[in-house]
Amino acid sequence: MKEDLVADHAALTDDIALRRYFATFARITGHLGAVAGAMGAEQALGEAELEAVGGYLAAVAASFRALSLKYLVAGRIEGVGQGHLTIDRHDSGFPVYQELAVMANDAAQAAQHLQGMPDAGRLKDQMVAEIVGEKRVPVRLQYALSQRLYYEALAAGGLFFPQMHPEGRWTADVGPARRRFLIRWAVYDSRQNLPVIYLMDCEDSGRRPLLKDGGRWPEVQAHLMAQAVGGLKLLTIATGFDRDFADLHPKRLRRIFVGPMHAAAFTLQTGPIRDVLEAAKGEAEDDWALAWTVEDLESERVEMETGWFSETEREVFRLDPVTGAETGATRIGRNLILPQRPYQVLAEMDPPGFRAVRKFVVGREGRVMVEK
């Protein structure tokens, strides 16, 4: 199985292809905020949820910008380890997990690297001197500058790492000693090579507010990170949380898969999406489509579980009557974000498997329209 996964990976060795890849993702991430906003306008995401999702999407965009600087010139320098970006060309279209893991390690040492590097102004002066004086392209200085800019981007922060630890936000008081929190966390899934965002609406009946409880909050954070695995059903995650924390009551749990990304120039598609992108061939800015899947699990009612000395609330979660046993969710929303030209081709082909998929269409002027 490991060999199969590696076979799906590809290094982008051509400078032009690399720049086009990052330009494609810059366009995609530039539209995701508008897509999230459209969902918010339809009340699929509340204000707090929209803020959380928007923050993670901005972090994904920042990480891609940093990686584009890291690999800007690296392929031209012999002897540079990991000189090419590796992407998952089959399952996700995103960089492989290892790219994000290395970036996280680099970020932890960014200040140390920057201390030992000439500043950008000095490097540019040296580049001009080499071009004018020696009549040659200053490739090594270009590489040094790209690495300087890479570490500056890492030092600036705001990046999406393999683990984005849980954060909480109070949203309401729902009783004399009962509070509601939105807990958010995210991961870069190592098997699917995708950013995955989690949102939990949770009621707290503990003595102290959860975020100020030095005993419970660290335990909650560790528990949720351990369960942030794409292969686990939401029902499994929510039920385990409900049983492990007697005074915390998960009312709603959502998981958002950002991706996969499809592009005829970079990924291996199967089925209708391949035909759509092939038929829509044209400008580079039209060669993409991004899936966006939202899994949702809601509590239906509360039952009391009687122990020796007390009663404990237990959530009973609502499952989809048709697919709930298989998916472990109340509902699953499948969305596709794509430019206008591929959307037109998709509408003409009208493949049955895409009729229930919500389409967000990006116009030439960048405006996001929702298919009715």
* DSSP character string of 67-117: HHHHTTTGGGSTT-TT-SEEEETTTTSSBPHHHHHHHHHHHHTHHHHHHTS
Host domain of residue 274: 163-370
Per DSSP, helices labelled H in the chain are: 2-7, 15-41, 47-70, 97-108, 110-115, 120-134, 139-156, 216-226, 234-244, 272-279, 324-327, 340-349
Cα(314)–Cα(249) distance, integer angstroms: 8
Contact 77, 143 (CB under 8 A): yes
**Cα–Cα nearest to 337, from 290, 287, 301:** 290
Would you list the DSSP string of 234-256? HHHHHHHHHHH-TTEEEEEEEEE
- Residue where a domain stops, chosen among 121, 139, 156: 156
Same domain? For 144 and 174 the reply is no
Same domain? For 222 and 300 the reply is yes
Would you list the DSSP string of 183-206? EEEEEEETTTTEEEEEEEEEEE-S
Same domain? For 195 and 108 the reply is no
- Residue where a domain stops, chosen among 156, 186, 202: 156
Backbone angles phi, psi at 103, to 5 degrees: -60, -40
CA distances (Å), origin 222, targets 202, 218, 254: 16, 6, 18
**Cα–Cα nearest to 276, from 337, 335, 176, 347:** 347
Same domain? For 285 and 333 the reply is yes
- Residue where a domain stops, chosen among 90, 124, 156: 156
Same domain? For 190 and 271 the reply is yes
Local confidence pLDDT in tens for the 372 residues of the chain: 344 445 578 888 888 888 899 999 998 988 888 888 887 777 678 888 999 999 999 999 999 999 999 998 866 766 555 578 999 988 799 999 999 999 999 999 999 999 988 988 898 988 898 888 888 888 888 889 999 999 999 999 999 999 999 999 999 998 888 999 999 999 999 999 999 999 999 999 999 999 999 999 999 999 999 999 988 999 999 999 999 999 999 999 999 999 899 988 888 877 788 888 888 776 767 889 999 999 999 999 988 777 666 778 899 999 998 888 899 999 999 999 999 889 999 999 888 888 889 999 988 777 888 876
Helix axis angle, 234-244 to 216-226, nearest 10°: 160
Same domain? For 187 and 318 the reply is yes
Same domain? For 63 and 148 the reply is yes
Cα(319)–Cα(326) distance, integer angstroms: 10
Same domain? For 145 and 239 the reply is no
Same domain? For 110 and 92 the reply is yes
Same domain? For 286 and 190 the reply is yes
- Torsion of the alpha carbons at 318, 321, 323 and 324, rounded to the nearest 10: 20
**Count of structural domains within the chain:** 2
Same domain? For 204 and 324 the reply is yes
Strands 248-262 and 331-339: unpaired
